[in-house]
């Protein structure tokens, strides 16, 4: 992949945002736009960018932060060779969990966490001359839950999703909170069971009037996960199978590694799942598999 040297105009834009594109570390951003729920943002900009870089929104787990997720994943080192941008938001609310329960966050431009995260992506595309057709979202646990929410509240913003150990979009709707100490436990316990079309209808209602395409989705879940129960994986797959109109096709065992089973829906270009035998909460991040799914 051909990389382009960062231009002087981009340097000026980054300087006004309070970060440097040549320092290989995450940088805090304070003026990225509308922030209705008080989120925080760090960004990783590699020393060299592609001419129109891809943007990955990487969402942390409950109790975590953007900087912590940055340090625990390999996206930054991959960005150094592939020239993409990584956004690492942080939620300071509800035990540092993402809001996947309130109507505000579960509505397109509703003024919740999802709106603030969408504004971060818009800022990044403008600031770094990003490619709007190469915007992706990923996350673990609460970050996976929010990845699914972002994919249905802003489906025209994201090209693909890869999410680890979460729940279907809307599973926690109406819960008192989204953290282990505030949430209605029936969702995490895998006790909310719906048909695919019921899940899809709930997702569509989060962006009223939207008739466009939804992003490609890759789902990971551990079969020994009893914290966000493995039963939730079936609900996620039902939701996306209906939204993307792709039925289950086949399983591939020991893919991408021993003990993992790849679940193919349709021809495997829109929806795949990976169940991990003996793995609890959460499935380790498979960054290189994520990039292959994203097409970076």
Residue with tokens 């900087």: 67
CA atoms within 13 A on the CB side of 21: 25
| DSSP reduced 3-state for 248 | strand
Let me know the angle formed at the C-alpha of 85 by 79 and 87, rounded to the nearest 5 degrees: 115
Length of the chain equals 296
- 162 is a catalytic site residue: no
Structure tokens at 218: 């890759």
CB atoms under 10 Å from CB of 117, counted, come to 29
Q: Which uninterrupted H or E stretch holds 216?
A: strand 216-222
Q: How far apart are CA 35 and CA 22, in angstroms?
A: 27
| Cβ neighbours of residue 141 closer than 8 Å, sequence gap 6 or more | 61, 62, 164, 165, 166, 228, 281, 282
Contacts 24+ apart (CB under 8 A), 73-79: 73/285, 73/287, 74/285, 74/287, 74/288, 75/44, 75/287, 76/24, 76/26, 76/44, 76/46, 78/287, 78/288, 78/291, 79/44, 79/46
Count of CB atoms situated within 10 Å of the CB of 189: 14
Contact 67, 88 (CB under 8 A): yes
How far is residue 6's CA from residue 72's CA, in Å, rounded to a whole number? 27
Active-site residue (options: 141, 142, 162, 242): 141
What positions carry a catalytic annotation? Answer: 141
């Amino acid at each position: 992949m051909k990389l382009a040297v960062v231009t002087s105009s981009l340097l000026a834009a980054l300087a006004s945002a309070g970060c440097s594109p040549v320092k290989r570390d995450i940088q805090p951003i304070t003026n990225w736009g509308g922030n209705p729920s008080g989120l925080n943002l760090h960004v990783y900009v590699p020393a060299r960018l592609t001419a129109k870089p891809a943007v990955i929104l990487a969402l942390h787990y409950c109790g975590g932060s953007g900087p912590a997720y940055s340090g625990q994943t390999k996206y930054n080192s991959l960005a150094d060779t592939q020239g993409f941008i990584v956004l690492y938001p942080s939620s300071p609310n509800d035990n540092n969990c993402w809001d996947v329960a309130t109507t505000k966050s579960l509505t397109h431009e509703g003024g919740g966490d999802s709106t603030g995260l969408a504004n971060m992506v818009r800022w990044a595309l403008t600031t770094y001359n990003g490619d709007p057709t190469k915007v992706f979202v990923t996350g673990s646990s609460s970050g996976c839950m929010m990845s699914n929410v972002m994919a249905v509240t802003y489906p025209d913003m994201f090209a693909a999703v890869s999410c680890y150990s979460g729940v279907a979009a809307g599973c926690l709707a109406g819960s008192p909170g989204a953290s282990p100490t505030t949430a209605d436990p029936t969702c995490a316990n895998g006790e909310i069971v719906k048909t695919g079309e019921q899940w899809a209808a709930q997702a569509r209602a989060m962006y009223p009037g939207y008739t466009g395409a939804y992003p490609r989705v890759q789902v990971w879940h551990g079969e020994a996960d009893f914290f966000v129960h493995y039963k939730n994986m079936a609900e996620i797959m039902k939701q996306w199978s209906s939204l993307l109109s792709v039925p289950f096709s086949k399983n591939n065992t020991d893919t991408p590694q021993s003990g993992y089973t790849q679940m193919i829906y349709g021809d495997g270009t829109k929806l795949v799942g990976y169940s991990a035998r003996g793995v609890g909460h959460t499935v380790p991040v498979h960054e290189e598999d994520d990039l292959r799914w994203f097409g970076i």
